[in-house]
Amino acid sequence: MKHIAVLASGQGTNLQAIIDAADRKEISGKIVVVISDHADAFALKRAKNKQIEAHFLDPSLYDDRERYDLALVAKLRAVETELVVLAGFMRLLSPSFVEAFPLRIMNIHPSLLPAFPGTDGMKQAFNYGVKVTGCTVHFVDRGLDSGPVILQEAVPVIQQETLATLEQRIHAAEHRIYPTAIDLFCRDKLKVVGRRCYIVD
Ligand code: GRF
């Protein structure tokens, strides 16, 4: 079983979807730790409810991003993390963090990348007036939402859409593709060649 660490800043609905999928044995990996940069992140409660090790790592205790990220790496290494899953982790990661886990960090973004990267991807797409948006699971590289794409799910924008209804359907899609992508990684089914991520037998 591969060791999975989840970093989350907020609600943690993706974390919950991953926990539930692991419980149903749909992920052949084990969540060994959940870490948040917010003391009151509901994601930490979700982890504790399942007796998963959970930590608040306080950014205000560190002089800069680099030092914070080094502390994060140390915590992740202490539990022999093999895959780092970003699930609504609202901090930019320093290059040294990314290099500590090459092609071992995944993120989920609420748009069809490379469209609408950065914060508020969903709102950007909605305000742009696109007819199709969705979500993307990708490996993290040194750029902003720019690493190799692992899985995407398209979500049509319907005529009567509000941002709230779109958000619900994008979240539902996220909760489907994130556990799937994580399971593929855990079963060594992902092979990255350049920008392309292949799903191999
Ligand atoms: C998701 O919409 C994800 O795409 C983005 O952050 C949000 C996290 O939501 N990266 P949750 O905390 O998992 O509910």
Positions in the chain short of pLDDT 50: none
Q: pLDDT at position 136, please?
A: 98
Q: pLDDT at position 63, please?
A: 97
Tell the residue nearest (CA) to atom 14 of ligand 1.
13
Q: pLDDT at position 43, please?
A: 98
> Cβ contacts of residue 199 below 8 Å, gap of 6+?
184, 189, 190, 191
Predicted TM-score (pTM) above 0.85: yes
Neighbours of 41 (CB within 10 A): 24
Neighbours of 30 (CB within 10 A): 14
Q: pLDDT at position 114, please?
A: 98
**CA dist., res. 164 & res. 135, Å (int):** 15
Cβ–ligand 1 contact at 151 (below 6 Å): no
Tell the residue nearest (CA) to atom 9 of ligand 1.
88
Q: Which CATH architecture has domain 2-199?
A: 3-Layer(aba) Sandwich (3.40)
Burial call 111-139: b when 16+ CB within 10 Å, e when fewer:
bbbebbeeeebbebbbeeebeebbbbbbb
Q: pLDDT at position 12, please?
A: 98
Q: pLDDT at position 31, please?
A: 98
Cβ–ligand 1 contact at 169 (below 6 Å): no
Atom of ligand 1 nearest to the CA of 87: 13
Atom of ligand 1 nearest to the CA of 14: 13
Cβ–ligand 1 contact at 109 (below 6 Å): yes
User: How many Å lie between the centroid of ligand 1 and the Cα of residue 10?
Assistant: 8
Q: pLDDT at position 140, please?
A: 98
User: How many Å lie between the centroid of ligand 1 and the Cα of residue 127?
Assistant: 19
Cβ–ligand 1 contact at 134 (below 6 Å): no
